[in-house]
Amino acid sequence: MRPLLIIGIAYFLTACSQDGLQAQVSEPEVQKSTQTLALLDSTKLNTTKHKDLSENLHKNDQRFSTSYAAKPDVQAFIKKMVNSHQYDGELLQVAFSKIQPRKKTITKSNNQPEVITPYYKYRTRFVERSRIREGKRFIQKNQKWLEKAQKEYGVNAEIIAALIGVETFYGRITGKKDVFTSLATLAFDYPRRAEYFQSELEAYLLLARENEWQIGNTKGSYSGALGMTQFMPSNYRKLAVDFDQDGKVDLWHSVPDAIGSVANYLRHHGWQDDRGIIVMSTPHEASKTKWEAWINKGRKPAKSLAEWHAIGVGKEITQLGRQTGLIGLQVGDAKYNYWLADENFFVIMRYNPSRRYSMAVLELAKEIRL
């Protein structure tokens, strides 16, 4: 670990302990994915084989009159898959006729804990005894792969482990929802993000064809995230890596692939291990009107230290990245703390665009460091 990171995390830890925050202990639900992956080379397209694998879809006669196949926008989507990707249109007609909207997917998407829960409550789900203990174990057990990832991608072990820890309790809870239904529901019944989820649905169908997954038999989260890393399908296609070099990318069963893929993802979005990350800072109350509007503004660092100093923020801080952002999170009933955050903090937000999420990953990373 580089000195700046240590400084950043040390400040951060001090900040948290000053608040008297206590991690609650709770045993998480442990479940195993029933996902099975095709054994063939994922880079080869074998549409005939894919069609064979879809036979079960045809055998099962259960179809819904209110299925997605009945919707005009789904028909337009199928047409696009056929025209743009030479996808098997008949297969898609059958697949969409087997599924209908899943209400819970919408409800959950509208009530994500990282959006609605205050930070001091949100963090207790992740920064708690069992997740810390298992995180240390994960690092010990996978030291060889974490070192390889640090060498090749420049992302330190604790951050990789903490991300997998927050996402899936180190690969144990990868989701058991049918991803096809999740993505179709969000693509066609969640107008706010229809465009995004239609492109993820497209990516999922391409992934299924490339990997010979049976459509409708891929398990993941209610929002369509896959494997130990909870990659969305487009990221799975673009940024997942075969880190153990066994010829296939398998984010459900290969911990090395998950480790390499998280590291590749973070590096792709600009992670640099030799930066600081975050330093607690209490802005000057007297100049609140100058800095208030900058709290949690944007998804990128907003100002240089000199610019922050000029408006009464971070005067005690002398070393942190060239550009930083002002983060404010609720750490008690009516109490907020503030931090200046370097680019790396925002890189973690590329994984999940929530400051609470990024902060929880950093806190867990600090706790599981050996």
- Judged by beta carbon, residue 221 or residue 254, the one nearer Ca ion is 254
Active-site hit among 167, 202, 212, 367: 167
**Is 244 one of the binding residues for Ca ion (CB under 5 A)?**
yes
CA distance 70 to 286: 61
Reported residue count of the chain is 370
CA distance 161 to 220: 20
**Is 229 one of the binding residues for Ca ion (CB under 5 A)?**
no
Q: How far is the CB of 243 from Ca ion (least distance, A)?
A: 6
CA distance 124 to 178: 28
The window from 54-62, 103-111, 153-161, 243-251 that contacts Ca ion (CB under 5 A) reads: 243-251
**Is 235 one of the binding residues for Ca ion (CB under 5 A)?**
no
By beta carbon distance, the residue nearest Ca ion is 242
**Is 148 one of the binding residues for Ca ion (CB under 5 A)?**
no
Q: How far is the CB of 37 from Ca ion (least distance, A)?
A: 10
Contacts 24+ apart (CB under 8 A), 84-91: 85/202, 85/205, 85/206, 86/47, 87/205, 87/209, 88/47, 88/50, 88/51, 88/54, 91/50, 91/51, 91/54, 91/57, 91/215
Nearest partner of 117 among 352, 350, 331, judged by Cα: 331
Query: Binding Ca ion by CB under 5 A: which of 147, 195, 246, 274?
Result: 246
- Judged by beta carbon, residue 52 or residue 246, the one nearer Ca ion is 246
**Cα dihedral 308, 327, 165, 103 sign:** negative
CA distance 91 to 55: 9
Q: How far is the CB of 251 from Ca ion (least distance, A)?
A: 9
- Judged by beta carbon, residue 254 or residue 352, the one nearer Ca ion is 254
φ, ψ at 171 (rounded to 5°)? 95, 0
- Judged by beta carbon, residue 250 or residue 342, the one nearer Ca ion is 250
Are residues 315 and 284 in contact, defined by beta-carbon separation less than 8 angstroms? yes
- Judged by beta carbon, residue 19 or residue 244, the one nearer Ca ion is 244
Q: Which tokens go with 232?
A: 């969305």
Q: Which tokens go with 161?
A: 């482990």
Count of residues near Ca ion by CB under 5 A: 5
- Judged by beta carbon, residue 218 or residue 324, the one nearer Ca ion is 218
Contacts 24+ apart (CB under 8 A), 65-68: 66/100, 67/96, 67/97, 67/98, 67/99, 67/100, 68/96, 68/97, 68/99, 68/100, 68/101, 68/184, 68/188
Q: How far is the CB of 257 from Ca ion (least distance, A)?
A: 4
Site track 189-228 with Ca ion (rule: CB under 5 A), x = hit: ----------------------------------------
**Is 254 one of the binding residues for Ca ion (CB under 5 A)?**
yes
Helices (H) and strands (E) in the chain, counts: 19, 5
**Is 242 one of the binding residues for Ca ion (CB under 5 A)?**
yes
- Judged by beta carbon, residue 184 or residue 249, the one nearer Ca ion is 249
Are residues 95 and 215 in contact, defined by beta-carbon separation less than 8 angstroms? yes
Q: How far is the CB of 309 from Ca ion (least distance, A)?
A: 48
**Is 41 one of the binding residues for Ca ion (CB under 5 A)?**
no
**Is 27 an active-site residue?**
no
The window from 53-61, 180-188, 218-226, 257-265 that contacts Ca ion (CB under 5 A) reads: 257-265
The window from 194-202, 206-214, 240-248, 349-357 that contacts Ca ion (CB under 5 A) reads: 240-248
142 to 138, 167, 255: CA distances (angstroms): 6, 17, 8
Query: Binding Ca ion by CB under 5 A: which of 128, 178, 210, 257?
Result: 257
Please, which residues have CB within 8 angstroms of residue 255's CB and are 6 or more apart in sequence? 142, 145, 171, 228
The window from 25-33, 182-190, 255-263, 328-336 that contacts Ca ion (CB under 5 A) reads: 255-263
Q: How far is the CB of 247 from Ca ion (least distance, A)?
A: 7
Using CB under 5 A, list all residues that contact Ca ion. Answer: 242, 244, 246, 254, 257
Active-site positions read 167
